[in-house]
Amino acid sequence: MSASYEIRDGIAVITLNNPPVNGLGYDTRRAVVDGLERAQADAAVKAVVITGAGKAFSGGADIREFGSPKATAEPNLLSLIRALELSSKPIVAAIHTVCMGGGLELALGCHYRVTAPGAQIALPEVKIGLVPGAGGTQRLPRVLGLETALNIIVSGEPVKSELLASLPGQKLFDKVIDGDLMAGALAFANEVAAAHAGGKPLPLVRDLKVTHPNPDGFIQFSRNTVKAMSKNFPAPAKCVDAVEMSIKRKFDEGMQGEREIFTSLMFTPECKALRHAFFGERAASKIPDVPDDTPQREIKQVGVIGAGTMGGGISMNFLNAGIPVTILETKQEALDRGVATIRKNYEAQVKKGKLKQDKYEQRMALLKTTLSYGDLKDADLIIEAVFEEMGVKEAVFKQLDEVAKPGAILASNTSTLDVDKIAAFTKRPQDVVGMHFFSPANVMKLLEVVRGKATGKDVLATVMSIGKKIKKTSVVSGVCDGFIGNRMIEQYSRQAGYLLDEGATPQQVDKAVEKFGFAMGPFRMGDLAGNDIGWAIRKRRAQERPGMRYSKTADLLCEMGRYGQKTQAGWYDYQAGKRDAIPSAKVEQMIADYRKEQGIAPRKISDEEIVQRLVFALVNEGAKILEEGIANKASDIDMVYLTGYGFPLHRGGPLCYADTLGLFNVVSAMKRFAANPHDDASFWQPAPLLAKLAAEGKSFS
Ligand code: NAI
C-alpha cells in the first residue's frame, strides 16, 4: 500500500503509507492524486486531510527511486502539488514526527497545515548538494519570512514544529494540536469547510508576499556568509540565489528559476560526491550474505581490555550510548590514568556546554574498572585494545577464552594484525571479530569491522548493529595487512616518501594535499599520530616482505628521536603546548643528505603531480582490495576514506574521485609515473581491475 483513502466525519483522509518514512515514490504520488480525484467527485466529502502513517508525515523523495525513471514519472511531485492547489475542496496537511524535503513541499501546497508538537521540519536537499526542487525555496519564505526560511534551506537542519509555530507572523502552521492529531485535524477540516462553504476562495501559499525591510542587504550578507562557510560546495550559495527569486520574481518565474538551479546542480561533481556518500553510508551497513533479518546477540555489558589511547575512547562510545563498560588493565596506575583521561574528555564537553553535568555523572556511573579477568565473565562484548604485538594479543585472547561466557563476542581493535591468527588463539573463532576504531575513538566516525574466516554471521550482524547504536559508520573489511584503510595508506605514505626523495619538502606535500581538500597532509598527520607507530609497523613488514622499496627518510626521522608532536619534533618542529607545524632545517638537511646518498638530483615537483601520485596510490590499492573481495563494494572504500582519513567530502572518496576524472586518465597518469626513474615502476602497475575498467571505459561505481 502506498496511500490509503477513507472517509471520516465527512472528511476524506488520505494517509501516506510507504514505510519507513512515507517517501513520495511513484505509487504514493499516484495514490494521492487518485484520492484527490475521488474526494473531488464525492459530493459528501467536505474537505481532505493528508497525513502519514507510522513514524512520519513524509521524509520526502523516495531515495530508492533515485536515478530511475519512476522518480520523475507523472504525476511527479510538482504536478501533485499543483493538483493540491487546484482542489476546490480545502486540503489540510496533518503533520507529525518527520516532515522533510518533498514532504514539506507537499504540505506547503495544501491550503492549511496543522501539526503535532515535536515534528521535525526540514528542507535537507543542500546536504546532498541540491536545492529543494518542488517549490520549497519559493513557498517557505512566503510562510516563514526571508530570514528564517533561508536559514532552514541553507543549513538543511531540522527545526521543531512548535518552535516555528511560535514565530510572530508565521503562516506555516494554522494550528498546533496537542493530543490526538487526527481528531484535531478532522475538527479543523470541518471548521474550514464550513468557512469556505459559501465559495470563499481557498488560501494558497503562492499568493502570499515575501517581505523584508532590506532584502538586498540581507541577501548580500547571506551570500558572503555562505561563501565563507562552504567554499567547496556550490549548493548553499545556489540556495541563496533561489530564495532571492522568491522576493524578486513572480511566483511562477521563481519556480522556473528554482528548477533551473536544481537541474544544473544535479550534474556537478560535488552533488555526485555528496549523493555517493549519502548512499554509501546506507549501503555500507548491508553485507551481501548477511541478510537484515540475521539473528543478533544481545549486548548489555561491554568489557574493554587496555585503558590506553584507544581503550578509553572506545569505552566512551558505549558509555555515551548508556551501555555499562568494565575496563581491564594490568596495573592500577594504568587504570587510573585511563579513567582520568575519560573524565578530562567529558569535563571538556561539560565546560563547552556540549554535555550536561548530570549526564556526565550518569555516564561515569556506568564505568567500572578491574585488574581481574574474572570480572569480565558477564560481558556480552569484549574489545581488546592492548599493545600491537601478536604475543600480547595471544595472551589476552587465551585468557578471554577461559573467562568469557559462551556466546560473548571477542573483538580486537588491532590496526594491522591478522584477525584469523588472533581467533585461532581461542576455541571459539566464530565469536572473534575485528572492531577497528580510529583515534580519537570517541570522535571519529569510522569503525572497520574485520570479518575473519570463521566469524559468525550473527556476530557480524550484531557488531554492525552496535556500530549504529554508537553512531559509527561501520564498514566491513576482510582480513589483510592493514585492512581497507591502513593497507591503502601504506601506499600513500610510500609515495609521500618518494616525493621527498625527488625534491619536495614535507610542507610542500602537506600544503598541496590540504589544498586538494584533505583535512591534513601526510607529514602533519604522521606527527600527530606519532611517527614511531609507522616505524614499528615498517620493521615488522621489512621482515615479512624483504626487499620492499620505500624511502628511508621516515626511519631516519625516528632514529633522530623525532616522533612527532609528542616529542615536540617530527617532520616539523613544535613549541611546547602548541600544535603549529614549523618547518625544520634539521629535517630538510636529513632529507638532502639522503638524496645525495641515493644519487638523486632534486627537481621541482608540481602540486598537481603531488596530489595525483598520492591519490592514485590510494586508487590503485583500493582497486586491488576490491578485486580481492577485502571490500564488498567500491563505495565501502570511499566511506572508509571519507569518515576515517579526512578525504575531502566534495570529492566523494578516492574511487569516486577517480571515476569523476575518468579511469582511462588515471591509468595514463600512472604510466607516466612509472617511467620516472626515481619512482617505482612496479608500484605503478595498474591493478588488473583498474586496467580492465579503464580499457572498457567503465567506472568503479
Ligand atoms: P596504548 O599503548 O596507548 O595503550 C595500550 C594499553 O594496553 C596500555 O594502557 C597498556 O597498559 C595496556 N595493556 C598492555 N598489555 C595488556 C594486557 N595484557 N592486559 C591488559 N592491558 C594491557 O595503545 P593504543 O594506541 O591504545 O593501541 C591499542 C591497540 O589499538 C593497538 O592494537 C593499536 O594498533 C590499535 N589502534 C591504535 C590506534 C591509534 O591511533 N593509537 C588506532 C587504531 C587502532
ipTM of the complex: 0.98
Do 424 and 557 sit in the same domain of this protein?
no
Phi-psi region of 568 (alpha: psi -120 to 50; beta: other; left: phi over 0): left
Q: For residues 516 and 459, state if they share a domain.
A: no
Atom of ligand 1 lying closest to residue 312 CA: 26
Per DSSP, the residues of 29-54 read HHHHHHHHHHHHH-TT--EEEEEEST
Q: Cell triple for residue 364? A: 561515569
pLDDT along the chain (701 residues), means of 10: 93 97 96 97 97 97 86 94 97 98 98 98 96 97 97 97 97 97 98 93 97 94 94 95 97 98 94 94 94 96 96 97 98 97 96 96 98 97 95 97 98 95 98 96 97 98 98 98 96 97 98 96 94 89 87 96 94 92 97 96 97 98 98 98 96 97 97 92 96 97 88
Give phi and psi for 342, each to the nearest 5.
Answer: -60, -45
Nearest alpha-carbon partner for 375 in 324, 414, 423: 324
Ligand 1 centre to CA of 528 (Å) is 17
Residue 276 included in any domain: no
Do 183 and 35 share a structural domain? yes
φ and ψ at 139, to 5 degrees?
A: -90, -35
pLDDT at 1: 64
Residue 91 lies in a domain: yes
Instruction: Return d(Cα 174, Cα 410) in angstroms, integer.
Output: 55
Residue with cell 610542500: 508
* Radius of gyration over every alpha carbon of the chain, rounded to an integer in angstroms: 29
Q: Identify whether residues 134 and 150 lie together within a single domain.
A: yes
Given 459, 477, 495, which residue is the final one in a domain?
477
Active site residues per annotation:
105, 125
- Among protein residues, the one whose CA lies closest to atom 15 of ligand 1: 386
Can you tell me which atom of ligand 1 is nearest the CA of 337?
Answer: 9
Question: Counting Cβ atoms within 10 Å, is residue 290 exposed (0-12), middle (13-18) or buried (19+)?
Answer: middle
Q: Give yes or no: residues 518 and 472 share one domain.
A: no
Ligand 1 nearest-atom number relative to CA 384: 29
Of 215, 244, 266, the domain-final residue: 266
Instruction: Kindly report the three-state secondary structure assignment for every residue of 653-696.
Output: CHHHHHHHHCHHHHHHHHHHHHCCCCCCCCCCCCCHHHHHHHHC
Choose one of 305, 309, 371, 375 to mutate for the ligand 1 pocket test, by most ligand atoms within 8 angstroms of C-beta: 309
Would you state the pLDDT for residue 613? Answer: 98
Which H or E run contains 608? Answer: helix 607-627
| Ligand 1 atom closest to the CA of 437, numbered from 1 | 43
CA dist., res. 330 & res. 541, Å (int): 28
Are 436 and 496 part of one and the same domain?
no
**Which residue range is the domain that position 587 belongs to?**
485-695
**What is the three-class DSSP state of 459?**
helix
Q: What is the DSSP letter of 202?
A: P
CA 325 to centroid of ligand 1, rounded, Å: 17
pLDDT the model gives residue 533: 86
Give 138-160 as a DSSP string. Answer: HHHHHHH-HHHHHHHHHH---EE
Cα angle at 329 between 326 and 335, to 5 degrees?
Answer: 80
Residue type, 662: G
Query: Which 8-state DSSP code applies to residue 206?
Result: G
- Say how far apart CA 197 and CA 178 lie, in whole Å: 27
> Does residue 528 line the site of ligand 1, with CB under 6 A?
no
Is residue 113 domain-shared with residue 234, that is, in the same domain? yes
Q: Is 685 in the pocket of ligand 1 (CB under 6 A)?
A: no
Amino acid, res. 655: L
Distance from Cα 304 to the centre of ligand 1, integer Å? 11
387 lines ligand 1 (CB under 6 A): yes
Tell me, yes or no, whether 61 and 145 share the same domain. yes
The total number of structural domains that make up the chain: 3
User: 498 lies in a domain?
Assistant: yes
Element (H, E) at 175: strand 175-176
The pLDDT of residue 221 is 96
Q: Is the CB of 399 under 6 A from ligand 1?
A: no
For residue 676, the domain's CATH number is: 1.10.1040.50
- Cα gap 104→106, rounded to integer Å: 5
**Are 503 and 602 contacting, i.e. CB atoms less than 8 angstroms apart?**
yes
Q: Are 487 and 621 in contact (CB under 8 A)?
A: yes
10 part of a folded domain:
yes
Angular region, 352: left φ>0, alpha ψ -120 to 50, beta rest: alpha
CA of 342 to the centre of ligand 1 (A): 15
Answer whether 388 contacts ligand 1 (Cβ < 6 A).
yes
289, part of any domain: no
DSSP-assigned letter for residue 112: E
User: Hey, what's the cell of 201?
Assistant: 476562495
Is residue 681 within 8 A of residue 674, CB to CB? The reply is yes
| Cα–ligand 1 centroid distance for 308 (angstroms) | 5
The secondary structure of residue 547, as a DSSP letter, is: T
Residues 307 and 182 both lie in one domain: no
Q: Is there a contact between 533 and 557 (Cβ–Cβ < 8 Å)?
A: no
